[in-house]
Amino acid sequence: MRDFGKSLIRFALIIALSLVIGAIFIMIIGENPISAYAALVKGAFVGKLNLGKTLANFTPLMLTALAFAVGAKGGAFNVGVEGEVFLGGIAAAYIGIHWGFLPMPIHLLACFLGAMIVAAMWAFIPGALKAYYGVNEVCSTILLNYVAFYITSYLVSGPMSAGVANAQSDPVADQVKLYQFMKPSSANVGMFIAIIVGIIAIWILNKTTFGYKIRTVGLNASHAEYVGINPKHTFVKTMIFSGVLGGIAGCIEILGVHGYFLNNFAANIGFNGMLAALVVKNNLILTPFMAFFLGALKSGALGLQQATSVPKSIVDTITAVFIIIATMDLLFQFKKKKQIQQSDEPLKPEASQEKEA
Amino acid sequence: MSSFVVEMKGINKNFGEVCAVKNGHIQVEKGEIHALIGENGAGKSTMMKLLYGLFPHDAGDIWVSEKQIKNMTPKRAIDLGIGMVHQEFMLVNELTVLENILLGFEPKKGLTVDFATGRAQVQQFIDQYGLDIQMDKRIHQISVGEAQRVEIIKILSRGAEIIILDEPTAVLTPQEADGLFEILKKLKADGKSVIFISHKLDEVMKISDRISVMRQGAYIGTVQKTETNPAQLAQMMIGREVFLNIKKSEVNSGAKVLDVQDLWTSGEKEISKIRGISFEVHEGEILGIAGIDGNGQSELIEAITGLRKVEKGKVILAGEAITNLSVSNIRAKGMTHIPEDRNKRGLNRALTIWENIIATHIGDQAFSKNKVLSLQHSIDYANELAEQFDIRPRDVTMPTQSLSGGNAQKVVVAREVAMNGKLLVASQPTRGVDIGAIESIRSILEKVKEQGTGVLLVSADLEEILSLSDRIIVMFEGKISGTLTASEATDTKLGYLMMGGKTEEAAHA
Amino acid sequence: GGSEPAASTNEGGSDAPAKTRVAIVFSGNLGDKSYNDSCYAGALKAQEEFDIELKTLEGTEAAEWEANFLAVAEEGYDLIICSSSNFEEYMKEHCANYPDTKFAVIDTTVEGDNIVSVSFAQNQGSFLAGAAAALFTKMSDIEGVNDENIIGWVGGMDIPVLHDFYTGYEQGAKYVDPDITILQSFAGTWNDPLKGKELTLAQYQQGADVVMNVASGTGTGILEAATEAGKYAIGVDLNQDGDQPGHVLTSMLKRVDSACYLLIQSVVEGTFEGGSKQYLTIADNGVSLTDMSVMKEALGDQFPDEILTKIQELQDKIVSGEIVVENYEGFGPNN
Amino acid sequence: MTFEKIINLSLIYATLRSATPIIYASLCAAITQQADILNIGTEGIMLTGAFTAVTVSYLTGSWLLAVIVAMLAGLVMASVIAVGHLKYGAEITAIGIGINMFALAFTKYMLNSLLGKTGSFTDPKIIGIPKVHLAFLDNSPALNELFNNWAVTEWFAFILVGILTFVLFKTVWGLRLRAVGKFPMAAQTAGINVTAMRYQALAISGLVGGLAGAHLSLGYSKMFTENMTNGRGFMGVAAMFFGGAHPVLTAIGCLVFGFADSIGARLQAYGVPSQFVLLMPYVVTVAVLAISMATKQSREARKKSALITTAPSTLTEKRG
Ligand SMILES: Nc1ncnc2c1ncn2[C@@H]1O[C@H](COP(=O)(O)OP(=O)(O)OP(=O)(O)O)[C@@H](O)[C@H]1O
Ligand SMILES: Nc1ncnc2c1ncn2[C@@H]1O[C@H](COP(=O)(O)OP(=O)(O)OP(=O)(O)O)[C@@H](O)[C@H]1O
Ligand SMILES: [Mg+2]
Ligand SMILES: [Mg+2]
């Protein structure tokens, strides 16, 4: 509990520091930082539209962040969540458009399953390449993201094109569209699905034998092998698990937000999710909160752009400064510093350098 | 003021909550071999790391050559003539032996490393002390004994006058250990001071001049070698009497439990490839495998336990062929295994004691219903084992990385022994653990055997092999160089076979 | 419909007649030196003349487009100009909820009482560009022009509207020379000039000497490639003739700027006609080629004046209906 | 479609040309990787360098000064990563992504406020990195086509591969850096200041990243565009992993990609669906990597096999 309070204070200080730096930028361009920040907060939380935007941003980010974090627990640095979102999305769109003959609940389920399966198959590729040939997954997933993007891009400007001015698919059947509960924002019931999926994912990781295997392999693969857990299989399964989460994110975006597959819709969803997970060092419990924070920051930034004449580039700069400062764990680590000073009292007060033991 | 080359007074060191050293002392005279002994986790390594400046100490004074040193760093320590061979070798696997030796003190030719000069310098020390090493091999290609020699040359070439050796003999054969002692004597003769950490009391008695004892982070006392005996030392270390030489029970061997037939398997090095090995282990028997590290023992064990692909031949466990089955399958058929490296294989250091204990049970109904872990049952079970095997501290929710070596090893032993398998493969079961733990682990193995389980024991410690095994096979360059019964085996015979000699000749040795 | 007092959406209290408030939402960033900039230029011109309040919102991702669009809709602007077809779906979904706001969309058609849709016959403009390229590639006495009849075309993303451009370009080129070879590439992105440059250089390598740019931000690189390789390019949307002087043969103007200006004017003057759609053709001056004056200056005497006359001739034929320029599926006056 | 229009000499130069920016980026990532630091911030460092180079070149008319200042700008960005990661415990990839976001937004802001432009900036006053004209090649059409008129930085990319290989594997600093990357504790016990080495690696990485950006905006082109790196920094990171952080292998990875990319640029003109052509270089690179890893694996397996004796003499001799 005390720790929680400490980290809250730390977080508040980080925000304060970021705000000060941001304020300097804003004052340089001759705007009033107070009203700018008011616009930022308003843009993130005030009113149905703004709050809805934040929630709509949060939904896919939480899933992609968990997708990355789950991979990381199993020892995978999976940059490929973005590709999984794209392919999950296109699968959901295809089923949503063409399988309208199914009754509604089954049709909806089919969309989700299709997205999960396709995304899982996609994540299987780098997983298997790493497990069986030692191909570095950072390398393969960075490259495969482009492939996923071009595949979907081809589909929606070719075979699946709606024939309108944009590269996009036909709309999915109305029955599978997810109800948007904060109109006009696109926050939709997918958020609750995402939260449930997130809870299940965290539960799987912490409470099941599968999760145990993932964590064991991620922490020490040769130990895993020795106790009879096949690290290669588990690594591949971890990637598949990660892919499933990415696929669900894509499915929710398609069914809940857009209603059709829009070319390049997931640009940065995967990356920002990865960021959310990394900032909290893949802590599964903190990851959703970080995703929410990033989601709010994003809609707040839009609000700032909309309500003031602060240019978007400044808004984005401030956002980036926020993130950079938020990554720095040891900033404002008063507790630790004090302890060192105390214990070093009789001797030198030089900062500790006990890094690795 | 002090007249010692090294004096540490009132040293305290905490790692977070863990108190590693409290009120630690040591005083080393010039030109002596000073042994530092204590149980696992007594704080010996920590004391020495503080002396070497690897991390700052919380309280106390350090004097080196009559100068008080504050802000010690490794660089500073080296400049002061301190050299340390760490318990875990500080050698970079991917670099060559020569590169490792020169690292940090490279002779330069312009910007580049002057390897020629470096090589010549190193050769000087090789010649002076008769340390045989191959400078162009990479670390992962050389044996542990050789790696140790590399470490010693490394610190000598940096001009060390005060030499710290942290458990140098844990990984050596008796012959290699004797070689090391010769070197230490030469160093002493050259006026260098040596701090020598060991768990082996006979070694300590053999080599040291004075002995300091630590227990649970605290300094207990210093004695002259000539005024003490192993029993007293053990008492100082542990606080009670110990009995290392357990009585070997009668061989009561039954059916074949392991049958290895003409086994061939790959090797990390040319001499560790297994090329056609056959032997049997019976119920209620301990079969010891002796041999110099790196002659294929690790590969053989991996092949038997499913961790390495068998290229030719058969492994039969209690009548069932287990050749190239998956590890989980082999374990399901009754194989249990204490691996040689507890940190790499045996434990998941970041996980808790209970999570490590159930690692081999997660498929069992009792531990996971429908693939959901049963937390309460797992913890209960772990607590039970902790009690039974005396794992200290008795808190199974502690991460294993905060356990001392001996207790960490007990976690592995407990998990494997409690499986009640048909065969227990025990590889270096007491490496680097203190005598208290050695005592208990050896008696556990003895008990396992009495229950009728077959035990395959691999150890570089000949004393261990001799005191536990009913039969002994000796490995040399991936083959069996000889098989002996317990009654006919002696140190010298084994030593001879370990160097590749034939059995008949060994008989005459 | 008459002019609705803009004040109705403002907070009351002020006596002075409120300014007309106009918002433009972009799918992309300003500074593309083409489509978006053109739109913005028209708005600026209107701002100068009519004393309006102007707000522009940029966004690079779909989520931002929708959010920006909704934000200005909620804010109650008098006129919201959606700069591209990317806003089509959001307009279909939301415009009806803001009956007091006037919407306009460019490059696509959206039905609605408060919406004006403006599209361009880019195929007609491209027809002329294709014809110009086909004529120019024959002028092998001009430096950098070889004797092969090959021309090129580099697009941004492979999306339908670009195929409408290409259809016209191909038809125009083949009208001049049925045997001509046309190289077509897509960069797959709107904002990677270096990729555009590489693709263009590849086309030059393969014998093209004039390459048309339809690639927004990516196009900067296409034009740069022309200078670097000593070859020629054709600009798009805005007059890009001066960007790489002497290497941009002409530009196909798509008068988004005047469309934008006219839309604002219609609201200020109360002539905004909700529900209407406009298809601006060559005849309306919605699309055209530049007068090639920059090129003429650069080439001096070498400049082939016959190109200008030929282009004029073709333009007249299109206006008169003698030449019917085809559309890509889904485009044209009836879409 | 004529074969010689696709595969010809110009393809080789096109390959080198489109690979060069990625080679620089991958070297930027490789240096830190040798110290076991994954520099995802390559993209941002590079973008900052690109912007700085164009600005300085435009303002001063000196390409050399521009390149130097760009490298310093890269250094500044890398320093932020270094301090954040090494002093304040930031997750290295997280702060790297943060730097990328910052660079993207901040260069856009500076473009606007400093140069008064939006989107992109081209100007005749920007002095590009000069091209090297080797007069003696003029008479040989093939060599002329291949080697003439490379930008200085295109030549230098290959020189830099050599320099870094030398630095990493021959110099004192390189030896220490690799030790730090592989086993920091061992380096520390050898008296090496591990943290200082990591700072240095990031600093040099920043300089190289800045140079990468300068090449992009002054060598490969003569302009600055928002987000002009467009993923090239990430490709560099991928290539670094491709080559296991060895400069030469890493550069080979870039060339594989560049080659497939250049072939694609030529194929597309003949009506192959653009997306397939555009995704080809990525697939080819993954495939090449997978195949080379698989061969390496089987080679190593063979080396370890007991059934195949690689050095029969040592065994039999000793036994005899
Ligand atoms: N090396 C192998 N080659 C082929 N199949 C294998 C191999 N190892 C295991 N399998 C089989 O693959 C399946 C999955 O392997 P895994 O070891 O993960 O089993 P599991 O314990 O059932 O895993 P989970 O709990 O995730 O279902 C099992 O049916 C197992 O028998
Ligand atoms: N870096 C560290 N972080 C946390 N605890 C540590 C660290 N290093 C040592 N300890 C703890 O400090 C205590 C003393 O450890 P130390 O390594 O000095 O023991 P030791 O006497 O060398 O034991 P052994 O004989 O097993 O090597 C142990 O409880 C150990 O777990
Ligand atoms: Mg120790
Ligand atoms: Mg021609």
Q: Are residues B30 and B143 in the same domain?
A: yes
B267 and B223 in a common domain: no
Choose among D23, D13, D15, D21: nearest CA to D251: D23
Q: In terms of Cα–Cα distance, which of A96, A144, A104, A105 is closest to A121?
A: A144
Q: Which residues of B fall below an 8 Å CB-CB distance to D?
A: 52, 54, 73-75, 77-79, 84, 86, 90-95, 99-100, 102-106, 108, 111-113, 264-268, 270-271, 273-275, 311-312, 477-478, 500
The predicted model gives B427-444 an average pLDDT of 88
Distance CA A26, CA C96 (A): 37
Q: How far is the CA of B23 from the centre of ligand 2 (A)?
A: 15
Instruction: Give the mean model confidence (pLDDT) for residues B461-474.
Output: 90
How far is Cα A279 from Cα A287, in angstroms, rounded to an integer?
8
Query: Same domain for B117 and B50?
Result: yes
Cβ neighbours for D41, distance < 8 A, ≥ 6 positions apart: D77, D78, D81, D95, D96, D97, D99, D100, D209, D233
The verdict on a CB contact (< 8 Å) between A226 and B70 is no
Q: Which of B15, B17, B26 to mutate to test the pocket of ligand 2 (most atoms within 8 A of CB)?
A: B15
Using the predicted structure, report yes or no on whether residue C251 has a pLDDT greater than 90. Answer: yes
Question: What is the tens place of the pLDDT at every residue in A208-252?
Answer: 999 999 999 999 999 999 999 999 999 999 999 999 999 999 999
Per-residue confidence (pLDDT) for residue C221, from 0 to 100: 93
What pairs with residue C117 in β-bridges? C105, C277
Distance CA D248, CA D242 (A): 11
**CA atoms in the 13 A half-sphere facing the CB of C159:** 21
At D254, list the tokens. 């870039």
One domain for residues B232 and B277: no
3-class DSSP state of D165 = helix
Restricting to D residues 66-125, those with a Cβ less than 8 Å away from any Cβ of A are: 80, 84, 87-91, 93-95, 97-99, 101-102, 104-106, 108-109, 112-113
Position B353 pLDDT exceeds 90: yes
Q: Work out the percent of chain C whose per-residue pLDDT is above 90.
A: 70
Among C269, C272, C2, CA closest to C116 = C272
Cα B121 to Cα B156: distance, rounded to the nearest angstrom: 11
Query: Is D317 a member of any domain?
Result: no
Which residue's C-alpha comes closest to atom 17 of ligand 1? A230
Residue B450 lies in a domain: yes
| Rg of chain C (C-alpha set) | 21
User: Do residues B233 and B280 both lie within one domain?
Assistant: no
Please report which confidence band the pLDDT of residue D318 belongs to, taking 50, 70 and 90 as the band edges: very low
Domains in chain A: boundaries: 58-291
Q: Would the CA dihedral through C110, C113, C115, C121 be positive or negative?
A: positive
Do residue B24 and residue B106 come from a single domain?
Answer: yes
Q: Tens digits of per-residue pLDDT, B21-70?
A: 989 999 999 999 999 998 877 889 999 999 999 889 999 999 998 899 98
**pTM for the full predicted model:** 0.90
Q: Does D89 touch chain B (CB under 8 A)?
A: no
Whether residue B111 sits in one domain with residue B195 = yes
Q: Tell me which residue range forms the domain holding B91.
A: 4-238
Of the spans A138-152, B198-212, D1-15, which averages the highest pLDDT? A138-152
Q: Is the CB of residue D203 less than 8 Å from the CB of residue D67?
A: no
Q: What is the mean pLDDT of residues D10-26?
A: 93
Interface test with A, best of B336, B348, B368, B377 (most A CBs within 10 A): B348
- The residues pairing with A57 across neighbouring beta strands, listed in sequence order, are none
Is residue C215 within 8 Å of C196, Cβ to Cβ?
yes
Report the CATH number at residue B486.
3.40.50.300
Size of interface C-D (CB pairs under 8 A): 99
Contacts with A342 (C-beta within 8 Å, 6 or more apart), sequence order: none
Assigned token pair, D94: 């997280």
pLDDT for B494 equals 85
User: Does residue B415 lie in a domain region?
Assistant: no
> D163: closest CA among D207, D220, D219?
D207
Query: What is the CA(B44)–ligand 3 centre distance, in A?
Result: 6
Confidence band for B505, pLDDT divided at 50, 70 and 90? low
Q: Which of B122-131, C122-131, D49-58 has the lowest mean pLDDT?
A: B122-131
Residue C279 backbone dihedrals phi, psi, to 5 degrees: -120, 105
The 8-class DSSP code of residue A350 comes to P
As for how many domains chain D has, the answer is 1
Sole residue written with tokens 């490394």: B154
Do the interacting molecules here have an ipTM over 0.85? yes
Question: Could you give the residue ranges of the DSSP H alpha helices within B84-157?
Answer: 97-102, 115-129, 144-157
User: What sections of A228-311 are H helices per DSSP?
Assistant: 231-252, 269-279, 286-307
Q: Which of residues 7-46 of D touch C (CB under 8 A)?
A: 8, 10, 14, 17-18, 21
Q: Is residue D151 part of a domain?
A: yes
Strands (E), chain D: 120-121, 131-132, 150-151, 224-225
Range from A118-122, B77-81, C190-194 that averages highest in pLDDT: A118-122
Whether residue A196 has pLDDT greater than 60: yes
**pLDDT > 60? residue B504:** no
Distance of alpha carbon A339 from alpha carbon B23, whole angstroms: 19
D315 belongs to a structural domain: no
CA–CA dist D240, D237 (Å, integer): 5
Whether B183 and B309 map to the same domain: the answer is no
Tell which residue, B26, B16, B372, B423, has the closest CA to residue B193.
B26
Domain assignment present for D314: no
> How far are the Cα atoms of A109, A188, A252, D3 from residue A179, in angstroms, in the given order?
15, 5, 11, 55
**d(Cα D83, Cα B347) in Å, to the nearest integer?**
35
Confidence of residue B433 (pLDDT cuts 50, 70, 90): confident
Q: What is the CA radius of gyration of chain B?
A: 24
CATH number at residue D8: 1.10.3470
Residues near ligand 1 (Cβ within 6 A): A 209-210, 230, 233, 237; B 326, 328, 363, 371
Q: How many CB atoms lie within 10 A of CB A55?
A: 21
Is it the case that residue C9 has pLDDT exceeding 70?
no
Residue B329 alpha carbon, nearest atom of ligand 1: 31
Report the pLDDT value the prediction gives residue A349, as an integer from 0 to 100: 27
Instruction: Give yes or no for residue B243 having a pLDDT over 80.
Output: no
Q: 3-state class of A203 per DSSP? A: helix
Rounded to a whole number, what is the distance in angstroms from the first to the last CA of chain C? 24
Token representation of residue D166: 């030398």
Q: How far apart are CA A97 and CA B138, in angstroms?
A: 60
pLDDT in tens, B187-233: 999 999 999 998 788 888 999 999 999 988 899 999 999 998 888 88
Ligand 2 pocket check for B20: Cβ under 6 Å: yes
How far apart CA C241 and CA C252 sit, in angstroms, is 10
D319 inside domain:
no
Q: In this structure, how many other beta carbons lie within 10 angstroms of the beta carbon of residue D315?
A: 17
Q: Residues B206, B297: one domain?
A: no
Same domain, B201 and B278: no
Domain range for D155? 2-308
| Residue in this structure with the two tokens 């493969």, named with its chain if needed | B425
Within-domain flag for B388 = no
Q: Is residue D295 part of a domain?
A: yes
Rounded Cα distance, B394 and B383, in Å = 8
Is residue D91 a contact partner of residue D176, using CB atoms and an 8 Å limit? no
Q: Measured between alpha carbons, how far is residue A344 from residues A349, A352, B219, D86 in Å? A: 6, 9, 21, 22
Q: What is the mean pLDDT of residues A96-111?
A: 96
* Distance separating alpha carbons of residues C90 and C8, to the nearest angstrom: 24
Q: Using alpha carbons only, give the angle C150, C154, C159 rounded to the nearest 5 degrees.
A: 130
Q: Minimal CA–CA distance to B344: which of A232, A227, A230, A72?
A: A227
The pLDDT assigned to B507 comes to 52
Looking at the structure, do residues B464 and B324 belong to the same domain, yes or no?
yes
Number of structural domains (chain B) is 2
Residue A244 to residue A241: CA distance in whole angstroms? 5
CA distance B49 to B86: 9
Position B103 confidence tier, pLDDT thresholds 50, 70, 90: very high
CA proximity to A299, closest of A193, A160, A182, A177: A182
- HSE (CB half, 13 Å, CA atoms) of B155? 31
Nearest to D269 among C184, C192, C195 (CB): C184
Residue B302: name the closest of B275, B274, B283 by CA.
Answer: B274
